[in-house]
Amino acid sequence: MPVSIRAVAFVEVMTKETVTMPQYLLSVCFDEDYDDVDLSTPENQAQMARTAELTAEMERAGAWVFLAGLRPASSATVVRADGGDVSMTDGPYAETKEQMGGFWVIEAPDLDAALEWAAKASTACERPIEVRPVHA
Amino acid sequence: MPDVLADVFRREAGRCTATLIRVLGDIDLAEDAVAEAFAIAAEKWPTQGVPPNPGAWITTTARNRAIDRLRRESTRTDRHVAALRLESDDMPPDPNPELAAVDDFVDVVADDQLRLMFLCCHPALAADAQVALTLRLLGGLDTPEIARAFLVAEPTLAQRIVRAKRKLRDNHAPYRIPRPAELPDRLHAVLVAIYLIYTEGHTATTGDSLTRVDLSREAIRLGRVLTELMPDEPEAVGLLALTLLTEARRPARTAADGSMIRLADQDRTQWDRPLITEGHTLVRACLRRDQPGPFQIQAAIAAVHADAATAAATDWSQIVALYDQLHALRPHAVTALNRAVALGELRGAAAGLDALDSLDVSLLEDYQPYHAARADLLARAGRREATAAYDRAIELTANPTERRFLERQRNEVADRT
Chain B residue with the nearest C-alpha to that of A14: B81
Here the contacts of B283-289 (C-beta below 8 Å, separation 24 or greater) are B283/B238, B283/B241, B283/B245, B285/B237, B286/B234, B286/B237, B286/B238, B286/B241, B289/B234
pLDDT exceeds cutoff 90 at A84: no
B140 close to B165: Cβ distance less than 8 angstroms: no
Dihedral pair phi/psi, residue A103, rounded to 5°: -160, 160
Contact assignment for A9 to B124 by CB distance below 8 Å: no
Q: How many CB pairs under 8 A join A and B?
A: 79
Identify the CATH homologous superfamily for domain A8-133. Answer: Dimeric alpha+beta barrel (3.30.70.1060)
Averaged pLDDT for residues B262-272: 92
Is there a contact between A5 and B81 if contact means CB atoms under 8 Å apart?
no
Task: Check whether A1 has a pLDDT greater than 50.
Answer: no
Contact with chain B for residue A1, Cβ under 8 A: no
Residue A136 is predicted with a pLDDT of: 77
Q: Rounded to a whole number, what is the largest CA-CA distance in chain B? A: 80
**Residue B386, pLDDT score:** 93
Burial (Cβ within 10 Å: 0-12, 13-18, ≥19) of residue B287: middle
Predicted confidence at residue A27, as pLDDT, reads: 97
Residue A89 has pLDDT above 90, yes or no: yes
- Tell me the whole-structure pTM to 2 decimals: 0.81
CB B14 within 8 A of CB B113: yes
Do A6 and B124 make contact, defined as CB atoms within 8 angstroms? Answer: no
Backbone angles phi, psi at A120, to 5 degrees: -65, -40
> Which residue in chain B has the smallest CA separation from A12?
B85
Q: Which of A9-18, A81-90, B57-66, B312-321 has the lowest mean pLDDT?
A: A9-18
B interface test, pick of A1, A3, A5 with most B CB neighbours within 10 Å: A5
What's the confidence (pLDDT) of residue B220?
Answer: 94
